[in-house]
Structure 1
Amino acid sequence: MNHKSLATRIGDTDIRLLRIFKSVVECGGLSAAEVELNIGKSTISKHLSDLELRLDLKLCNRGPSGFSLTDDGEKVLRAAEELLISVSQFRTEVNEIKEQLVGTVRVALFDQCASNPESHLARAIHNFNEAAPAVQIELSLEPPNVIETMVIGGQLDIGIIALHRPSSSLQYSPLYGENMYLYCGKNHPLFDASETDLGPADINQFSYAGLNVNSPNLIVGQQLGFRRAAKVQNEQALAILILSGRYLAFLPDHLAQKFVERQIMKRILPNQIRYRTRFAAATRKQPGMSRVAKLFLDVLIQEHVQNVEGIFTEASI
């Protein structure tokens, strides 16, 4: 065993090799990582070999049969992710001491807010970038439970999630809302049904698709006694199930609008079955936010302040 391995001394070269290793894993292999890393496959392979040599561990299998992590590779990946987060936080704190607005702000959201007229996230990003052009923004879509866990754990600075069941470890700043309606697809038996012939009790006989994460969608479906025959983790998947003509599901009106206009999706009893969801920016209470994350939050709140309606955690039917 090489007792002078990376585990006892870590430098910039080692951190670079760990970043390359992490990128290869995220891309799913060496070939896919070429574009992301902007270096050739043979060079990437050499970097991985150098890292394995420095660690004195075999991290992955790579060859004609494909790319896969070894058990040791899985463990090193988790340790590398924690290390790289710590390095990023260290650099952010040092830059704050130097009063420079540089670093990274990590934001995740659940809803498909690009088409929501109440959401001003894009405008907030525009204004933030003007104020802090050197700060890199990492924006992703994640399930709400994952967002909460990552914000609490420090992997995310801000999570935009539905106000539903607040966590005692997070604080919430209300932003915008959306209206949720029940929809069916063109080939569904209810598509051509007259509303005068329907009541809420008639809906329960049909298959329902809902989110399988703790959310207003889950609670409303249970309250209405719907028979959930399919479950998903995002609204785009719900739209696909609705369009199949085999399921009913709730969607935001702004997301469903383009399908309704094409007459391939229809609201079901919109005056009787609907609810409204409010979204908020969630941040962890301790430790405090970095300067760049605080600036992003301030800009985000300012962009939505005219539309804030107050906080509530349960959807209304």
Structure 2
Amino acid sequence: MKLDTLTTRIGDADIRLLRVFKTVVESGGLSAAEVELNIGKSTISKHISDLELRLDLKLCNRGPSGFSLTEDGQKVLRAAEDLLISVSQFRTEVNEIKEQLAGTIRVALFDQCTSNPEARLARSIHKFNEAAPAVQIELSVEPPNVIETMVITGHLDIGIIALHRPSASLDYVPLYGEDMFLYCSNEHPLFDRSDADLDMDELRKFNYAGLSVNSPNLIVGQQLGLKRAAKVQSEQALAVLILSGRYLGYLPDHLAQQFVDQKMMKKVLPGETQYRTRFAAVTRRQPAPTRITKLFMSVLRREHDNPSLADGQTLKA
């Protein structure tokens, strides 16, 4: 049976098989998917075989040599992801029509909000779950450019990214900020040097590690004329490069503080290199956000505008 024939009469059983297929791919194989799916490997294998029979396509190679997707399997995976997102959105919209707060909300953020005292994301999730306990939250960490793209294409409902180079396709709600400083490690030649003996010209002689995506980090590094010799997509990776003693790099002070306290890092020329980043929650402008997304955004706004509100106060959907 060909794919175009299946899609004209796809049913719940087909959607279940596609979900199993997607989970197996994300888990990296049949054995690894057993825990996630809570079914045995032989049953999973049968589901994959049934899907291949339904589609009349070989989707993957599985056996002693390991698990891998075929070229057709990669194409079907992309189509399945789009289909499952559409099904989720359909169910959410139907629940909205019925005025039920049920479904899934997909949120992504960039790096280190957990250690940022200005960020109230954990508290916001607490409040949101109180107001909409039937809504499942999917939370992930992604590079900022990936978050923007996924929100615009509808693969995410909300993204939390640096307020930088706004897109005309997105709406932005400022939430919190963080202070960024240039750091070196105790293995770097500058660690034992006094800031009084340094200037920007000397800093530019040393290798600098920065984010590879368009961001305040990238812009500031360029403006200061720092010599970027390594690129990363996360601040955790950046911290590793700084700790190597071979690179200077920017970190938020709340992330770097643990290393400063252990005398493993120090700020370099903070008066000349410090900058501040603002973070915002973003949603796409069209189509309009669902009631679930609007509720989550209202919780975020309220928690960050009024962080000292009494915990006993509740939100209305």
Normalised TM-score (structure 2): 0.95
> Distance in 2 between the 1:9 and 1:55 partners?
12
Q: Post-superposition shift, 1:201?
A: 1.3
> Which residue in the other structure is 1:162 paired with?
162
The alignment partner of 1:282 has SS state of: strand
> Distance in 1 between the 2:113 and 2:269 partners?
24
> Which residue in the other structure is 1:136 paired with?
136
Task: List alignment gaps of at least 5 residues for structure 2.
Answer: 308-317
Contact 1:210 1:218 in 2 (8 A): yes
> Distance in 2 between the 1:79 and 1:292 partners?
25
User: Identity of aligned pairs, percent?
Assistant: 76
Matched, 1:6 2:36: no
Q: Post-superposition shift, 1:202?
A: 1.0
Contact 1:108 1:147 in 2 (8 A): yes
> Which residue in the other structure is 2:187 paired with?
187
Q: Which amino acid aligns with 2:17?
A: L
Q: Post-superposition shift, 1:164?
A: 0.8
> Which residue in the other structure is 1:83 paired with?
83
Contact 2:3 2:55 in 1 (8 A): no
Q: Post-superposition shift, 1:271?
A: 1.6
Q: Post-superposition shift, 1:243?
A: 0.6
> Distance in 2 between the 1:208 and 1:90 partners?
47
The alignment partner of 2:256 has SS state of: helix
Q: Post-superposition shift, 1:40?
A: 1.1
Matched, 1:204 2:208: no
The alignment partner of 2:270 has SS state of: coil
Contact 2:108 2:140 in 1 (8 A): yes
Runs of 4+ in structure 1 off by over 2 angstroms are 1-8
> Which residue in the other structure is 1:68 paired with?
68
> Distance in 2 between the 1:3 and 1:113 partners?
43
Question: Where do 1:1-317 residues align within 5 Å?
Answer: 6-306=6-306
Contact 1:109 1:159 in 2 (8 A): yes
Residues 250 and 2 from structure 1, CA distance in 2 versus in 1: closer, same or farther, beyond 3 angstroms?
closer
Contact 1:5 1:56 in 2 (8 A): no
> Distance in 2 between the 1:27 and 1:84 partners?
17
> Distance in 1 between the 2:140 and 2:54 partners?
33
Q: Post-superposition shift, 1:200?
A: 1.5
The alignment partner of 1:272 has SS state of: helix
RMSD: 1.3
Q: Post-superposition shift, 1:4?
A: 9.4
> Distance in 1 between the 2:223 and 2:134 partners?
48
Contact 1:7 1:55 in 2 (8 A): no
Q: Post-superposition shift, 1:270?
A: 1.2
Q: Which amino acid aligns with 1:146?
A: V
Contact 1:208 1:228 in 2 (8 A): yes
The alignment partner of 2:85 has SS state of: helix
Q: Deviations over 1:6-35 (max 9, x none)?
A: 333211110000000001111111111111
Residues 221 and 4 from structure 1, CA distance in 2 versus in 1: closer, same or farther, beyond 3 angstroms?
closer
Contact 1:208 1:227 in 2 (8 A): yes
Task: List alignment gaps of at least 5 residues for structure 1.
Answer: 308-317
> Distance in 1 between the 2:201 and 2:3 partners?
71
Q: How many residue pairs align between the two structures?
A: 307
Q: Deviations over 1:238-295 (max 9, x none)?
A: 0000111111000000000111111111111112211000000111011011111110
> Distance in 1 between the 2:64 and 2:119 partners?
47
Q: Which amino acid aligns with 1:77?
A: L
> Distance in 2 between the 1:165 and 1:272 partners?
23
Q: Post-superposition shift, 1:67?
A: 0.8
Q: Post-superposition shift, 1:2?
A: 5.9
Residues 265 and 286 from structure 1, CA distance in 2 versus in 1: closer, same or farther, beyond 3 angstroms?
same
Q: Which amino acid aligns with 2:100?
A: Q
The alignment partner of 1:190 has SS state of: coil
Contact 2:3 2:56 in 1 (8 A): no
> Distance in 1 between the 2:89 and 2:220 partners?
39
Normalised TM-score (structure 1): 0.95
Q: Post-superposition shift, 1:99?
A: 0.7
Q: Which amino acid aligns with 2:258?
A: K
Q: Which amino acid aligns with 2:122?
A: A
Q: Post-superposition shift, 1:306?
A: 4.0
